[in-house]
Amino acid sequence: MPSLRQFKHKLASGLAWLPVSLSRRLNCRRPMIAVYHVVSDHPHPHYRHILECKSAEDFAKDMDFLLRHYAPLDLKQLIDAVRNGRPMSNRTFHVTFDDGLRDTWINAGPILRQKGIPATFFLNTAFIDNRAMGYRHKTSLLIERLAREPAGELRGQIECILGGAGIPGRTEEERIFRVRYRQAGLLDNIARVLQVDFAEYLAGQQPYMTGGDIEDLIKQGFTIGAHSIDHPYYADLTPDEQLRQTRESVEYLVGRFALPYRAFAFPYADIGVSPVLFDIARKTGMLDISFGTCGVREDACRMNLQRTMMDGYGLSARQRIVNAYLGYSLRALVGRGRINRNDTHAR
């Protein structure tokens, strides 16, 4: 039986002929904020098994579609609207990228420059300059390596590692995929079994942006923001650790790149984020703006804007956007069109 998400995607594909102007009337008064992870014609092993990326051609088509139906906004305009309580038009858009993958800058950067589209790149500070690898990218590398390993002793050793930790799954690949942030040490154990050297891969492949790459994109007029230190799922963290991941990553970028603004995008989603974090961010100026991934829903915390996922499932920008508007409309019918937090965060 198909899941609700699969049903929505199939329905969105069928409704893609609907005029965007009609679909947009169903939407709350929010800009269309698109989020991508990677753009590449040749997916690399460190994300091939965890992300479904856009090709450069499909990404360019997405940008043309957005330009036909929306006016571009830059990050500073979004921050200004949040700070001053100005309404934001749903006829505008902004493009964002998460995870700081170098392929994204190499492949999406020229397209954005050619079309004059502003964009913000959200970076995990531990991965800048390829000093460390995210646990999900380790997952993809290990699945890639394991695919070349037939049934035998090595798979048996991996079965013992994952089975002993209670990781469910029908295959070793499926179990590796289910390893979570706090269990990331299991991936290092598996890497030793499979003789996968993450440090060697980082040095040789340079999967993440370097400081020079980031300085270059800033010089070209793009903006950056923090995406936490090392990409945890915030719902699994204590409020203190959520605050530390947010504050330290933002401070690092502001200090290293002399940023006049403080932007943050929650890794995975902002579900489970402590209300205390939003309260501190608002009162202390820790953040000027933050972003979730709940489509076009309104957020009771005015400084936290929701974004629409644009990569994956082979859907075009039109299909993704119709899907987002449809999702909002269905939620609004049952009183869930707005993300409610504490009343103190509705400002």
- pLDDT tens-digit readout, 154-189: 999 999 999 999 999 999 999 999 999 999 999 999
Pick the closest to residue 331 from 341, 342, 340 (CA basis): 340
pLDDT-based confidence at 225, cuts 50/70/90?
very high
pLDDT at 249 (0 to 100): 98
pLDDT at 347 (0 to 100): 34
pLDDT at 326 (0 to 100): 79
Mean pLDDT of 308-332: 83
- pLDDT tens-digit readout, 48-106: 999 988 999 999 999 999 999 999 999 999 999 999 988 888 899 999 999 999 999 99
pLDDT at 21 (0 to 100): 56
SS3 state at 69 = helix
* Sign of the torsion angle spanned by Cα atoms 293, 298, 301, 305: positive
Mean pLDDT of 31-43: 95
* Cα gap 144→69, rounded to integer Å: 39
SS3 state at 128 = helix
- pLDDT tens-digit readout, 233-264: 999 999 999 999 999 999 999 999 999 999 99
Higher pLDDT, 14 or 266: 266
Which position has the token pair 């090595």?
A: 154
* Cα gap 122→96, rounded to integer Å: 7
CB atoms within 10 A of CB 112: 23
- What tokens does 9 get? 């995607």
Beta strands in 138-231 (DSSP E): 223-226
Half-sphere exposure of 229 (CA within 13 A, CB side): 12
* Cα gap 146→242, rounded to integer Å: 33
Q: Are 327 and 4 within 8 A, CB to CB?
A: no
* Cα gap 182→232, rounded to integer Å: 8
pLDDT at 18 (0 to 100): 54
SS3 state at 95 = strand
pLDDT-based confidence at 336, cuts 50/70/90?
confident
Higher pLDDT, 325 or 181: 181
pLDDT-based confidence at 346, cuts 50/70/90?
very low
pLDDT at 321 (0 to 100): 87
Q: SS3 for 108-127, per residue?
A: HHHHHHHHCCCEEEEECHHH
pLDDT at 245 (0 to 100): 98
**Low-confidence winner among 17-31, 100-114, 322-336 (lowest mean pLDDT):** 17-31
Would you give the DSSP letter of residue 46? H
- pLDDT tens-digit readout, 190-222: 999 999 999 999 999 999 999 999 999 999 999
Per DSSP, the residues of 242-290 read HHHHHHHHHHHHHHHHT-SS-EEE-SS-STT--HHHHHHHHHH-S-SEE
pLDDT at 9 (0 to 100): 52
pLDDT-based confidence at 338, cuts 50/70/90?
confident
Report percent pLDDT > 90 for the chain. 71
Pick the closest to residue 134 from 90, 79, 179, 88 (CA basis): 179
pLDDT at 11 (0 to 100): 53
Query: In sequence order, what are the residues at sequence separation of 6 or more whose Cβ sits closer than 8 angstroms to the Cβ of residue 316?
Result: 16, 58, 61, 62, 65
* Cα gap 320→223, rounded to integer Å: 24
- pLDDT tens-digit readout, 99-150: 999 999 999 999 999 999 999 999 999 999 999 999 999 999 999 999 888 7
* Cα gap 138→188, rounded to integer Å: 8
Mean pLDDT of 19-26: 54
Mean pLDDT of 318-341: 79
